[in-house]
Amino acid sequence: MLHEYYKSRENKTGASCLNCIEKRLLIMIAIDSVIKKFGTVTAVDNITYRVETGEYFALLGPNGAGKTTVVRMLLGFIRPTSGRITIDGIPVSDPEARKRVGYLAEHHMIPYYLSGFEYLRRHASLIGLAGKDALMEMDRVLEVVSMKGREKEKSAAYSKGMKQRIGLAAALLGQPKVLILDEPVTGLDPIGIRGVRNILENLRDDGVTVLLNSHFLSEVERTCRTLAIMNNGKILVKDSIRSIIEDDQTLEDVFIKYAQKGK
């Protein structure tokens, strides 16, 4: 779609836009000068950053920093007061942008009376998948999250880790380009945490862009390459994790330093 757009621009203007194509294709999430106010409260205060295609990016900050508001704007649930957000070059106000995103909420729930299969079938219908296409895609994501063979069981019999894997499977339906994960390992035991980590590692080869919101800093450090730390609606630092952490520091030290700086 982007290639066709720039070709038409080139034909009309006579100017080559090939370099524009390359730049656009490298950026999956673009947030430009975004402000979000709720009445007199500024929840997000003029933030700008980019997340490249295939990047595993962590959005960190203390409770109330503005992270959830950013996620809600990315998903199109709320609109910025000002500024612009795009996913894959498409404004988030356009439903086409939402089709490119898979989302796992922090407190996602699977009704106890539904099986994993029934839960996934409902999610498949929400994104327009039906019949054989839905069954094939459900089979694919069940394989990805290692729940093949357990999908017909009622969720009441699932462990917390199994429910989380089914939630991840739902987020992966339709092969989204962006995966937004809100505290994906909260409440999991070490086996469940490793399971989620392994799933994310296996997705790297697919070129999926991951935005991770988590307080489990050890998992952030294992999974992500870049991060931003927010507080009071502002981004205080954005860089690679290796660049941010000094020799005698941990990621926890860095987090506390910037969280306190933003007070």
pLDDT at position 181 over 80:
yes
> pLDDT tens for residues 76-106?
999 999 999 999 999 999 999 988 999 999 8
pLDDT reading at 8 higher than 50: no
- Domains, the chain, in order of start with CATH, read 2-100+177-261 (3.40.50.300), 109-175 (no CATH)
pTM for the model? 0.85
Q: Does residue 169 register a pLDDT over 90?
A: yes
Q: Using CA atoms, how far apart are residues 140 and 108, in angstroms rounded to an integer?
A: 21
pLDDT bin (cut points 50, 70, 90) of residue 193 is confident
206 has a pLDDT exceeding 90:
no
Average of pLDDT values for 103-123? 93
- Is pLDDT above 60 for 10? no
pLDDT tens track for 207-224:
899 999 988 898 899 899
Beta-carbon contacts of 2 under 8 Å, excluding residues fewer than 6 positions away, are 21, 24, 25, 89
